[in-house]
Amino acid sequence: MPLPTVILPGYLEGASAYIPLETSLEALGFPTVTVPLRKRDWLPTVGGRSMVPILRRLDRSVKQTLKYHNASQINLIGHSAGGWISRIYIGEKPYTIHGDTSESDPFWGALSCVSTLITLGTPHVSLERWTKRNLDFVNTNYPGAFYQQIRYVCVAGKSIFGARKQGSWLAFNSYQITCGNGETWGDGITPIEAAHLQGAENLTIEGVRHSPKSPGLWYGSPEILPFWTKYLV
């Protein structure tokens, strides 16, 4: 029987945006739940502050899912920032860089209960000063596909080339502050090179845009799911 799956939404996004993805995964036989976040739940994290409020919600959802399904492991899907936040959650190092939690708090160290981590359009690196502190913690302590016992699958979209022209400015600026090069391919928010991790199973899917609210196809569109759901246990 497939392992249960938990979805962690992207930055400033609520769980409701992932209901179609949940439904699609359920139809494929994967019991799925999304961490029940609302947009306002992200407000304490704005400006590069601590992700502990999100880690706390994620931990609660994972533990409830394990108990409900009488399972020892889950598949974890992190969209956008949810991907690198998931890497903090899996990791063993205390996430105390913001001084708002102690080393004994149980909001990380989930290594043993995650079988597969799938990141969708996740910026695993950033040059943006507010995000950089958190991502430096992740990449210093857990570089690349760090834990051999976890399958890392990093999915990038290739739909918009960043350029200094109408229709491509948002992509250009987002890519620029993420990887230092605005003139590259990505999903409109995350450049391909930032969405992949060394040692992971790295996928690039043509025509995929970043957000569940984007026009056209995104990572969770039914037409796109076969590219990455085959990696779910």
List the CATH number of the domain containing 63. 3.40.50.1820
Residue 76 β-bridge partners: 6, 117
CA 151 to the chain's CA centroid = 14
Is 186 inside any structural domain? no
> In sequence order, which ranges of the chain are alpha helices (DSSP H)?
19-27, 52-69, 81-90, 129-141, 169-179, 192-195, 225-228
The band of 122, judged by pLDDT with boundaries at 50, 70 and 90, is: very high
Is 81 inside any structural domain? yes
Is 210 inside any structural domain? yes
Residues 6+ apart with CB under 8 A from 152: 116, 117, 119, 145, 197, 199, 200, 201
Domain, as residue range, for 142: 5-156+192-231
Reply yes or no on whether the pLDDT at 37 is more than 80. Answer: yes
Per-residue confidence (pLDDT) for residue 205, from 0 to 100: 98
What is this structure's pTM?
A: 0.96
Is 136 inside any structural domain? yes
Long-range contacts: 64-73, Cβ < 8 Å, 24+? 64/33, 65/4, 65/6, 65/33, 66/4, 66/113, 68/4, 69/4, 69/31, 71/3, 71/4, 72/113, 73/3, 73/112, 73/113, 73/114, 73/115, 73/233
| Residue type (1 letter), 131 | T
Please state, rounded to an integer, the average pLDDT across all residues of the chain: 96
Q: Work out the average pLDDT over 128-132.
A: 89
Is 162 inside any structural domain? no
Is 163 inside any structural domain? no
Is 148 inside any structural domain? yes
Q: Work out the average pLDDT over 209-224.
A: 96
Reply yes or no on whether the pLDDT at 135 is more than 90. Answer: yes
Is 142 inside any structural domain? yes
Reply yes or no on whether the pLDDT at 28 is more than 80. Answer: yes
Reply yes or no on whether the pLDDT at 53 is more than 90. Answer: yes
Residues 6+ apart with CB under 8 A from 179: 125, 127, 191, 193, 194
Domain count along the chain:
1
Give residue 67's region: left, alpha or beta (phi > 0; psi -120 to 50): alpha
